[in-house]
Copies of this chain bind each other. A is one copy, B any other.
Amino acid sequence: MKITGNMLLGQSEQLGQYGEIFAINPATGEQLPPAFGSGNQQQVTAACALAEDAFQSYRSTSAEQRAAFLEQIAVNILDLGDDLVERAMAETGLPRARIEGERGRTMGQLRLFAGVVRAGQGLDPRIDPAMPERQPLPRSDLRQRHVPLGPVAVFGASNFPLAFSVAGGDTASALAAGAPVVVKAHSAHPGTSELVGRAIQLAVKQCDLHQGVFSLLYGSGRMIGTGLVSDPRIKAVGFTGSQAGGTALMKIAFERPEPIPVYAEMSSANPMFLLPATLAANPTALAAGFCGSLQMGAGQFCTNPGLIVAVDGAPLQQFIDECTGLLSQSPSQTMLTPGIQQAYVSGAERLGQSTGVEQLAKGLCSDAPNQCQATLFATSAEAFIADKRLTEEVFGSCSLVIRCQDEAQMLKVAKHLEGQLTASIHCNDNENEDLVRNLISVLELKAGRVLFNGYPTGVEVCHAMVHGGPYPATSDSRSTSVGAAAIQRFMRPVCYQDVPEKYLPAEIDSANSRGLTRLVDGVLSNA
């Protein structure tokens, strides 16, 4: 399929006239054709108007129609074939296996949400039947379901060109909720974005939906991003990216005449706690596992392990020695964009120059452009607690070992952390159970996911996943951006009081025509 550089406005396409964007192959530094035309306020307005036009008919589609639409998008993405894989590789510097894996994950997400829609998950149907004889006052018939908030603006993420971009988790969950979507493509992979956008555009047509269900825009955050989040027809925002970017969108959304929710997944240092007996038993295996997780995808994962917390001593030194050995022989890797690479270099430099921080290891150097050399630093718990900047994520293969005097100080470090996407505990059966329980108690209040004896990279797309966490990991800890529960972000409850049967939505009708499990008078029931 040809890549044109055009934006997709419903079933139309249009070349933006507000400047040109070119993709760069970060592995070579070369500019990739074609030029993508940046849009301006005119296309933002057009896309939002289309989305609003589409909203009533799209949210009224049956569960089966919507599920089939999601599945059709998955089919169309696969049908793009190697054109998609090769363009994504060229635009990101990521290897084929990763892109193919991510394509599979993207299709899996779409199919998961198709299942969520068919099962009626996220609707939370509730029925409190009328009690006409109740004294002193009768009770009305009261029913509740969830409806979509309205059109959603989605920002493609740089680090998941497929799974958190044009047809990624935010788009899939919003479409599943019944919300039309306007995507701002990430400028790092516009060609990948156009190809996937065309797969969605085609599915809209194949499924005979209102064309406004999906649009795709190119352009700057200042023009397209601000324009989308400010548009009164947009009712929620999905974003994955930097804390600066996320908080800027939060501010725009908050200052609208009608504030709207922003689901921004921003930054996380993903601390790993290596408990004493476990560290003493397995320093080599832990070092190998950690170094693998740290360097996966050049560390460009939201869940990259950026902090190691352990009691100082011989086992920790052995762990560090093993890591130093592994990392100093590690070839550098191509990062996603020149900007990300520059931020990595300056972030690692800043960290290395901080008071009380020493560099332990650095990966191999290379002449290729945009390289990430893995870097490992160490500091003391006191220094870590004294300097808030040491808690900040350095995006890339960079991690900081925090040497604690004892278990109590490990807990103190845990309490000092700000919000995280994940917190890992490495712990065998010989550990102090009280310490483990206390750590869980602290960490489950700090992180969206607490994991044992594993590495935080690799986020399973399933029903129980939480890819979220307290600020600044995300803008809204009450949600997840990965997994089935992500659909809830784009819905709100409505109560129907004494609404005649013929006007009731199917999910709360008296016949239970959708066969859902519903909360009837406070008790779950299939009746």
Contacts and interface: CB of A to CB of B under 8 A. Distances in A.
Interface of A: 56, 60, 115-116, 119, 121, 124, 126-128, 137, 139-140, 142-144, 147, 149-150, 250, 254, 258-259, 261, 418-419, 427, 433, 436-437, 440-441, 444-445, 447-454, 458, 460, 462-466, 468, 470-472, 475-480, 484-485, 491-500, 502-503, 517, 519, 521-522, 524
A454 B485 contact: no
A498 B258 contact: no
A128 B460 CA distance: 10
B522 A144 contact: no
10 contacts: A121-B522, A128-B463, A139-B460, A147-B445, A149-B478, A447-B494, A449-B496, A454-B497, A470-B492, A480-B495
Given A477-B492, A485-B493, A522 B463 contact: yes
Contact of A495 (B259, B440, B465): B465
Contact of A458 (B115, B137, B454): B137
A493 B466 contact: yes
A464 B485 CA distance: 20
A151 to B, nearest CB: 12
A248 to B, nearest CB: 13
A191 B261 CA distance: 38
A129 to B, nearest CB: 10
B147 A460 contact: no
Given A464-B142, A494-B448, A498-B453, A484 B524 contact: no
Contacts of A448: 493-495
A143 B485 CA distance: 13
B437 A503 contact: yes
Given A449-B494, A477-B149, A494-B449, A465 B137 contact: no
B143 A464 contact: yes
B147 A444 contact: yes
Nearest to A524: B517
Given A115-B522, A261-B476, A449-B494, 11 more contacts: A119-B522, A126-B485, A144-B463, A147-B444, A149-B478, A258-B419, A261-B478, A444-B496, A448-B495, A450-B499, A517-B517
Contact of A503 (B127, B142, B436, B465): B436
A51 to B, nearest CB: 14
B139 A454 contact: no
Nearest to A493: B466
A56 B115 contact: no
Contacts of A517: 517, 524
A418 to B, nearest CB: 8
A497 B452 contact: yes
A44 to B, nearest CB: 21
A503 to B, nearest CB: 6
A66 B118 CA distance: 36
Contacts of A495: 448-450, 464-466, 480
A519 B488 CA distance: 15
A521 B493 CA distance: 25
B142 A475 contact: no
A464 B258 contact: no
A460 B387 CA distance: 51
A301 B503 CA distance: 28
Contacts of A479: 493
9 closest A-B pairs by CB: A451-B497, A466-B495, A126-B464, A144-B464, A449-B495, A142-B464, A128-B462, A128-B464, A477-B492
Contacts of A484: 522
Nearest to A127: B464
A498 B137 contact: no
Contacts of A470: 258, 492
Contacts of A258: 418-419, 470-472
Contact of A144 (B466, B491, B497, B521): B466
Nearest to A449: B495
Contacts of A452: 497-500, 503
Nearest to A482: B495
